[in-house]
Chains A and B, each alone.
Chain A
Amino acid sequence: MTFEPEIAAFCCNWCGYAAADQAGAAKLEYPAGVKVIRLMCTGMMDPYYVLRAFERGFDGVIVIGCHLGACHYKSGNVQAQDQVKRVGQVLRALGLGESRLMMTAASAAEGSVFADTANAFVEKVRKLGPSPLREVVAQ
C-alpha cells in the first residue's frame, strides 16, 4: 500500500479557512489527507495542538493564517509565527524534524494558494515518509 500522508491544517477563520472554502468552491483539487481544523485566529495556535496532532498520528502539520498586517486581530499571525518557531525546536528534539511543520499565509480570496500549498506540502511529507509516531495509531 502506498503511503498517503495525513496532514492537520490549522486555518484561521478569516483567511486560511476562507481560502480552503474558496478552493472548494472553485473545484480546485488537493489531497484528501489534508484535514482542515478551523481556529478563530492562528494566534491561538499552541505547541500543545501541534504535538497533539503528531501524537494522534498525523504526519505533518500546516498552519495557515492571514498575510502579515492583515490579521483580523492585528497581530495573531505574528504570535503564531513565534509559536511555530518554538515548537519546531520541540519537534527536532523529539526526532520528528522541523520540516513536518510549516506556516504560511493565504488571504480569503487565495483558494489557489491554499490548494498549491496543500499539494506541495503533501509531496514534501510523502518524501519524508510516515511519522515515527504513526505506527501506534490504528488506521
Chain B
Amino acid sequence: MTEAVGIQVTLGPDGGASPDPALRVLTAEGCIQCNKCTFSCPVHRVDVLFSPRKVILQAYLGGADAVSERDLWACLTCGECQAVCPTQVPYPAFIRAQREKLLPAMERTAPCKHGGFKDVLAKIMAKPDLKQDRRAWIGDGLKVADRGDVIYFTGCMPYLDGVFSYCDSARIGKAAIKIMNAAGIVPVVANAERCCGHDAMWNGDRETYEKLARANAAWIRESGAKRLVTTCAECYSMLKYEYPKVVGEWPLEVLHMSELIEELVKAGKLKFARPVELTVTYQDPCRLGRHSKEYDAPREVLKAIPGLTFVEMDRIRENSMCCGVGAYSNCDAATKFMQQERLEEAASKAGNLVTACPHCRIHFSCYLDGRPVDPLPELKIVDLTELAAQALG
C-alpha cells in the first residue's frame, strides 16, 4: 500500500490505449458491485443519477459502448471512488480509456469556453514550429537561467491570465521563483516548454498528449537538468507518473514545489523569517493527493510557516472533496453545488483556503467571483507557494 504509483491500470501485453483490456480488469478481477464508489462520488452527491458502479455494470453487461456520453463526461476523474474501493478498481483510468475510445465518434468540441480554451491551447502547443515567449510575466528582480540543474516547469500558467481575469495566476510563478532564488537556486524557465498534456490525456485526446509529451521530453533531456520543479499538481502527476509510459526512460527527478520547500527548509537553506498571521485550511488537489499520494509535504510546509494557524477540514487526504472540475471537462450545475459545499466546509474552519494546484485555485475563485448559490463567509483562495513566499519577507 505504501508505493506511490499514481492511478494505474493494468493493460494488455501491448500496454496500449485500448479500453478493452482495462475493461477485462474491471469485470474479471475488479468490481464486486458494493456501491461504495457511488456513495463516495462527489458527483453522485449532487446528481443522484450518476453512479460509477452503474457505469461499470453497464459496461460489463452491454459492452464498452453502453456507457452513456453523459456519464462519460460527468466523471471528474478525481479518484475518490478508487480510494474507497475494496478491490481498487481503477475507475478514473477506465473512464480515460473510454473517452479515448469514444472521442472520434462523439466529436466533442468543448463543454465550456474555458475547457475549449485549454483544449485549443494544447493543440497549438503540439504544433512543431512554435516560437513561444514564456517569460513575459517574470518581474524584475527575479533570476531565471537558460541552462542549469533545476528546471521550473510553468505549464500553462503563463497563459491562464489570458482568460481567468479574477485569478492572477502569474503570482504563483513569481512566488516560486522568489523562493528558489532565496535558496540560491536559479531555475531554468524555457521557451521550448509546452503544455504538459494533462487535459488532453484525461479528455481522451491521446494524439495531442503524446506529441506534447515527446516535445517536452526532447527539450528536457537536451537541457541536461537533473531536477524539475512544478507548482502545478497536474503537471506533477503527468511528468512524474505518465511521461515515463510514453517517452521511455526518464532519469529526471520531478518535484512539486511543496516537496522542494519542505526539503529546503529541512536542510536549513530556506528560512521563513516573517510570521504570516493567518488561519488557513488545506485542500488536497486530486492530482497531488489521490493520484500521486503526496499528502504530507504541503502540510509540512504549512506547519513550517511561523505565525500560521493550520486547521484541517473534516474531509482530507484520500477523502478530500474535489474542487468540482476535472481537466476542464465538466463544469455545470453539479460543480457549483460541490464547490458551495466544499467552500462552506472550508469557511467554517478558516478564512483562507490553501491549495497546491493552480486549477483548484481557479475553479474555486471562479465560483467566488461569480454568484455563489448561497452567501458564503469571507474566504480567500491562496496557493501554497504564494503563502510560503509571503513568509520569506
Chain A residues with CB under 8 Å of chain B are 46-48, 51-52, 54-55, 82, 86-87, 89-90, 92-95, 132-133, 135-136
Contact = CB atoms under 8 A, between A and B. Distances in A.
Given A47-B163, A136-B127, A92 B117 contact: no
A132 B127 CA distance: 9
A47 B130 contact: no
B120 interface: yes
B121 A133 contact: no
B30 interface: no
Contacts of B121: 51, 90
Interface string B99-138: 0000000000010011011001101110111111110100
A52 B124 CA distance: 9
Contacts of A87: 162
Interface residues of B, number: 25
B158 interface: yes
Contacts of B114: 48
Given A82-B165, A93-B132, 12 more contacts: A46-B113, A48-B110, A48-B114, A51-B121, A52-B116, A86-B162, A86-B163, A90-B121, A90-B162, A94-B159, A132-B131, A133-B124
A89 B165 CA distance: 12
9 contacts: A47-B162, A48-B114, A52-B120, A55-B120, A90-B159, A90-B162, A92-B133, A94-B124, A136-B127
Nearest to B121: A51
B171 to A, nearest CB: 15
A46 B124 contact: no
Interface SS majority for chain A? helix
Of the listed residues B120, B132, B161, the one surrounded by the most CB atoms of chain A closer than 10 A to its CB is B120
Contact of A55 (B123, B129, B159): B123
Contacts of A94: 124-125, 130, 132, 159
Contacts of B130: 94-95, 132-133
Interface of B: 110, 113-114, 116-117, 120-121, 123-125, 127-134, 136, 158-159, 161-163, 165
Contacts of B116: 46, 48, 52
A44 to B, nearest CB: 9
- Interface-central residue, B123, B127, B159, B162, by most chain A CB under 10 Å: B162
Contacts of B124: 51, 54-55, 94, 133
A73 B381 CA distance: 33
Contacts of B134: 93
B86 to A, nearest CB: 42
A87 B117 CA distance: 11
Contacts of A52: 116, 120
Contact of B136 (A46, A51, A92): A92
A55 B121 CA distance: 8
Contact of A89 (B113, B125, B161): B161
B109 to A, nearest CB: 9
A2 B297 CA distance: 58
A135 to B, nearest CB: 7
A47 B112 CA distance: 12
A92 B130 CA distance: 12
B236 to A, nearest CB: 22
Given A52-B120, A132-B129, A93 B113 contact: no
A46 B113 CA distance: 7
B133 A47 contact: no
A51 to B, nearest CB: 5
Contacts of A90: 121, 159, 162-163
Most chain A CB within 10 A, of B125, B158, B159, B161, is at: B159
A51 B133 contact: no
Contact of A93 (B123, B127, B159, B163): B159
A78 to B, nearest CB: 14
B129 A135 contact: yes
A93 B117 contact: no
A138 to B, nearest CB: 14
B114 to A, nearest CB: 8
A51 B120 contact: yes
A93 B129 contact: no
Contact of A86 (B125, B132, B165): B165
A86 B160 CA distance: 10
Nearest to A89: B162
Contacts of A89: 136, 161-162
A53 to B, nearest CB: 9
Nearest to B162: A90
Contacts of A93: 132-134, 136, 158-159, 162
Contacts of B117: 46-48, 51
